[in-house]
Amino acid sequence: MELLLIKKRSLISDDNSDRKRKKQEHEVVIEQSKYGDGMAWFRGCLIGKGCFGSVFMANLKKPKSRYTSYYPPIMAVKSAEVSVSSSIQKEREVLNNIRGCRNVIRCFGEEITNGENNQMVYNLLLEYGSGGTLADLIKKSGGFGLPESDAKRYTRSILRGLRHIHHCGYVHCDLKPDNILLVCSSDDGCFTAKIGDFGLAKRAKQSKSVGYRRGTPMYFSPEVVIDGVQEAPSDIWAIGCVLLEMLTGKPPWDSRPETDGDEVLSRIGENNESPCVPATVSREGRSFLKGCFSRKAMYRWTAEMLLAHPFLEGVGDDEDDDRKDEEPEVLDINAISSSMMSESEDDEISYSSFSDGYEDELYFWSEEEDDDGIENEMSSCFSVEESLQAERSTSTPLNEVHQYPISFTISGV
């Protein structure tokens, strides 16, 4: 009797799974027909969906056509009806202004397609992250986090992209593992972390909107919560949150699933808390996070300074990677709008105290006691930044608020 019941439950479970799969497939088909195909590409499976629209895989219709010089064989296409596509169009504008860095997701253009009922659909063609997102990778660790060597490598890549973004005069405002894509490197088969999703990005020192904060509360810095200020230092706080999440496999505030945004905002703003750093994190790692988690934005390290931190020492070759940063866009069709192509398809035509999380050991850092120490600690790293500024006479780093001498050497946390 028990065996029959088990078999019956198994059949019911299989039947429910089959129905769920068929329903999902049907929904994908509906989504695909809703947005239509492009002139040179067809819409594949749905890989993401949000309030902005939907993201699909896209494949070239004819891999050996003239469009292979513009498009890669596989792309990600972010789509929304034209009438509600302002966020995606804003992302297109930002991506066009920050081109030229291998650690920022590349954009291959835009196109208007006709969806069902002849509705006009705006499509943004982006680099496809075949490795998924950093959030996916952290989730696979089962709450144990990534090896520190991997966390260092990904952090370095993200910082390189962020340094470029800041030098171009932008603030990302929504750095988190979900917005870091892992793209396969053609050189060694490893994955490179690239910053994506610029729908909430803003220009530096742009006037703030009262009561409006961009991004995700879990990764907000104190000045964002208290004063509504989002500039380059707020991205650096978010970098610390991302690194901490990689190392621990848990959210930066080690929050419960039911924790809401208001509770996190209260801890950051009213309670003056900072995320806890476990003792399992190396000494250099704790020092690096200290540079990210200064509650005073003026004492927070810049991307340039963090790239010179001993925590990232030995991760790749700086000189070689600097050359790669300036590599030209392989598919430079940003000046071309696919919707304007006249050829027919037949012509072949995308985060003060440090607590270790254990009861027997705590690390404390008081900024009131340490302000002078930070200024004295933080002049060697600025020498790195100043020398690079001299080379980049045409670009101005966002963190020029740190014009007083700040230099940093490693000290015990």
* Residue in this structure with the two tokens 């429910």, named with its chain if needed: 16
pLDDT at 205: 85
Averaged pLDDT, 149-159: 97
- Compute CA 109 distance to the chain's CA centroid, rounded to the nearest angstrom: 20
- φ, ψ dihedrals at 49, nearest 5°: -150, 140
The verdict on residue 362 lying in a domain is yes
pLDDT at 116: 81
* Token pair belonging to 150: 């991997």
pLDDT in tens, 392-407: 444 444 344 343 333 4
pLDDT in tens, 188-203: 678 999 999 999 999 9
Averaged pLDDT, 143-163: 96
* Token pair belonging to 264: 């996190």
At a CB cut-off of 8 Å and minimum separation 6, what does 286 contact?
Answer: 277, 354, 363, 413
Here the CATH number for the domain that contains residue 191 is 1.10.510.10
DSSP label at residue 208:
P
Q: Which of 4-13, 32-41, 124-133 has the highest mean pLDDT?
A: 124-133
Cα 93 to Cα 83: distance, rounded to the nearest angstrom: 17
The verdict on residue 380 lying in a domain is yes
pLDDT at 21: 59
Q: In angstroms, what is the C-alpha Rg of the chain?
A: 23
pLDDT at 38: 92
Cα 60 to Cα 48: distance, rounded to the nearest angstrom: 20
The verdict on residue 281 lying in a domain is yes
**pLDDT of 386 strictly over 60:** no
The verdict on residue 309 lying in a domain is yes
DSSP lists the bridge partners of residue 122 as 80, 112
pLDDT in tens, 61-119: 887 777 667 789 999 999 999 999 999 999 999 999 999 999 999 999 999 999 888 89
Q: Which amino acid is at 383?
A: S
Question: Structure pTM?
Answer: 0.74
Q: Give the DSSP H/E element, type plus range, for residue 356.
A: strand 353-358
Q: Report the mean per-residue pLDDT for the chain.
A: 77
The verdict on residue 86 lying in a domain is no
Neighbours of 331 (CB within 10 A): 18
For residue 358, what are the domain limits? 134-328+352-402
Tell me how many domains the chain contains. Answer: 1
Averaged pLDDT, 257-279: 82
- φ, ψ dihedrals at 144, nearest 5°: -100, -15
Q: Which amino acid is at 233?
A: P
The verdict on residue 297 lying in a domain is yes
Catalytic residues: 174
**pLDDT of 257 strictly over 50:** yes
The verdict on residue 104 lying in a domain is no
pLDDT at 320: 46
pLDDT in tens, 312-338: 998 864 444 544 454 444 444 434 443
